[in-house]
């Protein structure tokens, strides 16, 4: 990497030092406030353990949900501190504010090797505004900032970019944590020097959120497979009826242009699974893509498409998968996504590099029972899309150069 990482910080230089770490603990909570999925937390443990073992004072910053710049008790990070404590096997302090005298006092009381999690950064409007004075406050005098939050690295916020700038202005270093470094390495290497056949599977609901990724990947891939509700817009671009299925009417011309640009690289579904309504007990019908009936909803790719997509995916040597093939959360519409997931895992078993974007794609790999067989599962859906699209990542750009 052109940017410094935590590996560039020898343990002996960290003892007794305050080190501020931006993590992404935007974890799903149930109605009782308990953590439902701790994947992102677990992935930050190597970074935190490195700092603890070196005797640093690790001050953790994170957001949770979208509180709109004001405190919201239902979005407190307090339960996350308890979950982190379970994994570390040692006490984790929690401060109910992020800045101000109480936060400064909590940091000043820390001893070597201790961990302190501060309250949700987005309880403060200054975070998303990237307020430089607030960024200086959350530095707490630290000369080292570690960004280990890939899921927010595409945001120019005070707790990602602003604090990195503040630390560097103070003469210190802003570096990538082990998780961020791993994310950047896998995704960047896949684009820079992929082993062929290079296959991309793009799904999800809207073509508008994936246009930049499709355009960026097209020159590099050997095959680009389109599934999910976004395929409906491609169907409509060919003049086919899609019943009551989701379509982005204002993107039909875009879909048509992408088909012209891609040529035979682009593979669209040949059949779909439909129902009168998308529910957990829906009665489904398999239909050719140009034979969807009025009042039907497309909920998944069909069995012929699933088999063909699985064959292409199974033969890949580099695979990037972003977005499910259908409404996999509901049993009647999960078979297409699960078949692609199993094919991706089999490709990884045979030595292919398989990268799954975060968000729904990661959830689909978990639901299909194959997540442990995937080469790399990203912790940031939107961030991985931004990186694959070639967009600037402010949280990375602000790190110290090697």
What range defines the domain where residue 356 resides?
186-388
What spatial distance separates the first Cα and last Cα of the chain, rounded to whole Å?
8
Half-sphere exposure (CA, 13 Å, Cβ side) for 332? 18
pLDDT at position 382 is 86
Using alpha carbons only, give the angle 107, 110, 116 rounded to the nearest 5 degrees: 65
Does residue 401 lie in a domain region?
no
CATH at residue 318: 3.40.50.1260
Residue 350, Cα to own-chain centre: how many angstroms?
A: 25
pLDDT at position 269 is 98
pLDDT tens digits for 326-338?
999 999 999 999 9
Burial of 133 (0-12, 13-18, 19+ CB in 10 A): exposed
Measured CA distances, 53 to 78, 110, 354 (Å): 24, 15, 32
pLDDT at position 385 is 87
Compute the residue count for the chain: 402
Quick one: 147 and 190 in the same domain?
A: no
pLDDT at position 31 is 84
Does residue 249 lie in a domain region?
yes
DSSP helix/strand/coil, 94? strand
Quick one: 222 and 125 in the same domain?
A: no
Q: Of 158, 179, 200, which residue is a domain's last? A: 179
pLDDT above 80 (res 176): yes
Measured CA distances, 138 to 130, 170, 171, 363 (Å): 12, 13, 16, 33
pTM: 0.90
Quick one: 203 and 316 in the same domain?
A: yes
Measured CA distances, 352 to 34, 242, 317, 376 (Å): 36, 36, 4, 11
Quick one: 164 and 193 in the same domain?
A: no
Does residue 58 lie in a domain region?
yes
Lowest mean pLDDT across 81-95, 232-246, 354-368: 354-368
pLDDT tens digits for 5-14?
999 999 999 9
pLDDT level of residue 390 (50, 70, 90 thresholds):
confident
- Compute the average pLDDT of residues 87-101: 97
**Is there a cis peptide before residue 183, judged by omega within 30 degrees of 0?**
no
Report how many domains make up the chain.
2
Measured from the Cβ of residue 382, the count of other Cβ atoms closer than 10 Å reads 16
Tell me how far apart the alpha carbons of residues 326 and 370 are, in angstroms, rounded to a whole number: 17
């Amino acid at each position: 990497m052109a940017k410094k990482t935590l590996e560039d910080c020898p343990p002996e230089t960290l003892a007794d030092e305050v080190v501020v770490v931006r993590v992404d603990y935007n974890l799903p909570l149930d109605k009782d406030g308990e953590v439902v999925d701790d994947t992102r937390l677990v992935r930050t443990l190597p970074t935190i353990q490195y700092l603890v073992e070196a005797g640093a004072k690790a001050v953790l910053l994170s957001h949770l949900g979208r509180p709109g710049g004001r405190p919201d008790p239902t979005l407190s990070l307090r339960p996350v501190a308890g979950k982190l404590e379970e994994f570390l096997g040692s006490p984790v302090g929690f401060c109910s504010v992020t800045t101000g005298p109480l936060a400064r006092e909590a940091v000043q009381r820390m001893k070597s090797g201790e961990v302190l999690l501060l309250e949700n950064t987005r309880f403060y409007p200054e975070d998303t505004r990237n307020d430089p004075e607030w960024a200086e406050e959350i530095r707490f005098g630290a000369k080292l900032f570690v960004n280990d939050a890939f899921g927010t690295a595409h945001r120019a916020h005070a707790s990602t970019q602003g604090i990195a700038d503040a630390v560097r202005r103070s003469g210190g270093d802003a570096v990538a944590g082990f998780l961020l470094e791993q994310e950047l390495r896998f995704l960047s290497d896949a684009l820079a020097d992929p082993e062929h056949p290079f296959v991309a599977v793009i799904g999800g609901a809207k073509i508008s959120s994936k246009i930049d990724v499709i355009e960026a990947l097209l020159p590099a891939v050997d095959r680009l497979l389109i599934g999910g509700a976004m395929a409906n817009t491609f169907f409509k671009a060919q003049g086919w009826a899609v019943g009551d299925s989701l379509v982005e009417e204002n993107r039909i011309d875009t879909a048509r242009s992408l088909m012209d640009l891609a040529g035979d690289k682009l593979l669209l579904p040949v059949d779909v699974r439909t129902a009168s309504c998308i529910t957990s007990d829906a009665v489904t019908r398999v239909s050719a893509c140009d034979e969807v009936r009025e009042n039907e909803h497309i909920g998944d790719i069909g069995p012929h498409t699933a088999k063909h997509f699985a064959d292409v995916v199974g033969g890949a040597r580099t695979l990037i998968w972003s977005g499910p093939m259908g409404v996999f959360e509901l049993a009647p519409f999960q078979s297409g996504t699960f078949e692609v997931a199993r094919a991706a895992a089999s490709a990884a078993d045979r030595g292919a590099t398989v990268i799954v974007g975060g968000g729904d794609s990661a959830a689909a790999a978990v639901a299909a029972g194959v997540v442990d067989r995937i080469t790399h599962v990203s912790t940031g859906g939107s961030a991985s899309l931004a990186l694959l699209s070639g967009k600037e990542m402010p949280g990375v750009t602000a790190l110290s150069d090697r």
